[in-house]
Structure 1
């Protein structure tokens, strides 16, 4: 049986729902939420006061 000389490399897609992009989006959302809590704590009130 012949073995291939080169092993094909899988390239990551540029767009769409994929594991690495979803993890990055979740981490950035968590950082934004923590930053919002810090700002609200420092101001003494929420940012969305009417």
Structure 2
């Protein structure tokens, strides 16, 4: 598992990773996107 974390850390340091992080932060700030994510996570966890 630590190998996966290391690879994720390395990816976030690349320009492409930085763009992905910025995009995720913008999506997290949007209330509509936040509600969609909450609904999806609830569905994945087995709740509705």
Structure 2 length normalisation: TM-score? 0.39
Larger Rg: 1
Q: Which structure has the highest helix share of the two? A: 2
Structure 1 length normalisation: TM-score? 0.37
